[in-house]
């Protein structure tokens, strides 16, 4: 199963693609999509959508996962981040890709073991879980962490479904 992880942002959106075969994970690709702060918002959102559409077309994921947005003290920044997240969700949904959504603390807990992990700890564990990965940047590392989280959750769901099916037989 090919999974796409996405860490939305208006300035930089990270993306990461992994293959999940049972409990085995392997890195396929990762990158960052950047938009220029001086551009008009609609143009930035269009560039983000087009670039993500290209990634999805190239990588052909079976599923995707997106990190949820945390609010901050700047309402304008939070609104712009929410708009970028909406475009990320739209790009995946338009391509017909099923989407999971995870709170940042769930991602940190799944990858590092604690919901309060910092970015350096997440990056270190991503590199350990995906040996040989060359990270395109911190947002790409976060996106790979989201993909890893999604892989773990899907594996747990499949295992539970097998147990339930076995109990009913």
The answer on whether 62 is annotated among ligand-binding residues is no
> Which one from 7, 36, 50, 101 is the annotated catalytic residue?
7
Catalytic residue at 67? yes
The rounded distance, in Å, linking the Cα atoms of 66 and 93 is 12
Catalytic residue at 142? no
> Which one from 21, 50, 139, 142 is the annotated catalytic residue?
139
The answer on whether 67 is annotated among ligand-binding residues is yes
**CB–CB of 111/123 below 8 Å?**
no
> Which one from 67, 101, 118, 142 is the annotated catalytic residue?
67
Using DSSP, state whether 16 is helix, strand or coil. Answer: strand
DSSP letter, residue 33: E
Who contacts 120 (Cβ-Cβ below 8 Å, separation ≥6)?
Answer: none
DSSP letter, residue 35: -
The answer on whether 118 is annotated among ligand-binding residues is no
Annotated binding residues? 7, 67, 139
Which residues are marked as active site?
A: 7, 67, 139
Annotated binding residues for Mg(2+)? 7, 67, 139
């Amino acid at each position: 199963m090919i999974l796409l992880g996405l860490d939305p942002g208006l300035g930089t959106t990270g993306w990461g693609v992994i293959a999940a075969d049972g409990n085995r994970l392997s890195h396929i690709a990762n990158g960052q999509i950047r938009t220029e702060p001086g551009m008009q918002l609609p143009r930035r959102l269009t560039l983000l959508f087009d670039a993500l559409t290209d990634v999805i077309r190239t990588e052909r994921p079976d599923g995707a996962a997106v990190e949820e947005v945390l609010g901050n003290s700047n309402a304008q920044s939070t609104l712009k981040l929410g708009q970028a997240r909406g475009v990320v969700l739209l790009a995946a949904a338009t391509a017909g890709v099923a989407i999971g959504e995870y709170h940042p603390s769930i991602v940190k807990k799944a990858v590092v073991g604690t919901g309060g992990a910092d970015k350096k700890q997440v990056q270190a564990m991503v590199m350990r879980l995906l040996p040989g990965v060359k990270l395109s940047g911190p947002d790409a590392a976060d996106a790979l962490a989201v993909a890893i989280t999604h892989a773990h959750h899907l594996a747990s769901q499949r295992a539970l479904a097998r147990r339930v099916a076995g109990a009913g037989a």
